[in-house]
Amino acid sequence: MATLGVSEAEREAIERFQRDVIEPSMTSLVMLDFWADWCAPCKQLAPVLDKIAADYADKGVKLAKVDVEADKLIAAQFRVQSIPTVYAIFQGQPVADLTSYRTEAQLKRVIDQLLGQLPIKGEAQDLAAEVEPLIAMGEQVLGEGDAARAENIFAQIREMDPDNPAVTGGLARAMVAGDKAEEARALLDSLTEDQAKHPAIARARAALEVAAAPAADVSTEEARLAANPDDHEARFAIAQARMAAGDRDAAADALLEIIARDRDWNDGAARTRFLQMLEAAGFEDPWGRAQRRRLSALLFT
């Protein structure tokens, strides 16, 4: 920004802009709000911006304000023609015009998009980088069948990052694998509505539901099925028992057979249970991917 031929007040404004906007924007995302005291829409927007800045402070988002009456040179440099005008600044450059977004939900949506695209450095990002390999370790241990150790790992990570749904979901699944279904249910029930919507929590819920399948002697159902291959109730009970025994291949085979014979049986109960098994396994699980292909082939060929 040129400083030749400017007054002392303008020079101070430029230095203040450099200190409050340009320098922080090297590592943070700065919401730059052009406003004036006489501007009613500016006053309506101000508390929304303040709240977003507070909510996203640990993610590297900051708020800076420019009074267009006091700092006319700065406003002119940005060609501000009406207020409020709000820009997102990163590394000294505008990366988004936020002016048309006036509600908290709208602004958060675009801020989330920017944070996903830009190398912003905040406490939340630093914490995420720290816990990511630990989550991977917990998942590996859980996948190897050591539920108790996995639960211990996820519990320790949760002390570091208590609001991370991936951690909470992993802890709940480790509890389920360790026959602590009621503890897992209590943990999941303690989450907020927004946290409960996260895919990691949905996966843990699915694992809990799959684990709740009753373990039972199904010799009677097997005899019924041998006599009548279309006895879907008997086949479904067998699938439930196979799930309870940890034989997901046999459970999947039984559920897919029901779907193949009558996909709408019992309001689609077999498909619902099959999808719960897939969700519990996780999208990246090779077994789950193979079973999804089997289901797709059944439904769409």
d(CA 180, CA 288): 24
42 is catalytic: yes
> In this predicted structure, what is the pLDDT of residue 215?
79
Mean pLDDT of 58-85: 93
Task: Pick the more confident residue, 104 or 246.
Answer: 104
DSSP 26: G
Local confidence band at 1 (pLDDT 50, 70, 90 cut-offs):
low
Q: What is the pTM of this model?
A: 0.63
Catalytic pick among 14, 21, 30, 42: 42
> In this predicted structure, what is the pLDDT of residue 39?
95
Local confidence band at 246 (pLDDT 50, 70, 90 cut-offs):
confident
39 is catalytic: yes
Local confidence band at 82 (pLDDT 50, 70, 90 cut-offs):
very high
> In this predicted structure, what is the pLDDT of residue 127?
84
Catalytic pick among 6, 22, 36, 39: 39
> In this predicted structure, what is the pLDDT of residue 3?
52
> In this predicted structure, what is the pLDDT of residue 4?
53
pLDDT tens-digit series, residues 150-206:
999 999 999 999 989 999 999 999 999 999 999 999 999 999 888 888 999 999 999
Q: Which residues contact 93 (CB under 8 A, 6 or more apart)?
A: none
Q: Using CB atoms within 10 Å of the CB of residue 268, give its burial: 0 to 12 exposed, 13 to 18 middle, 19+ buried.
A: middle
- Between β-strands 29-35 and 93-97, what pairing exists: parallel, antiparallel or unpaired? unpaired
pLDDT tens-digit series, residues 122-143:
887 888 888 999 999 999 999 9
d(CA 164, CA 284): 19
With CA atoms as reference, report the closest residue to 210 among 158, 247, 235, 167. Answer: 247
DSSP 35: E
| Number of DSSP helices (H) and strands (E) in the chain, helices first | 15, 4
Which string of b and e fits 32-56 if b means at least 16 CB within 10 Å? bbbbeeebeebeebbebbeebbeeb
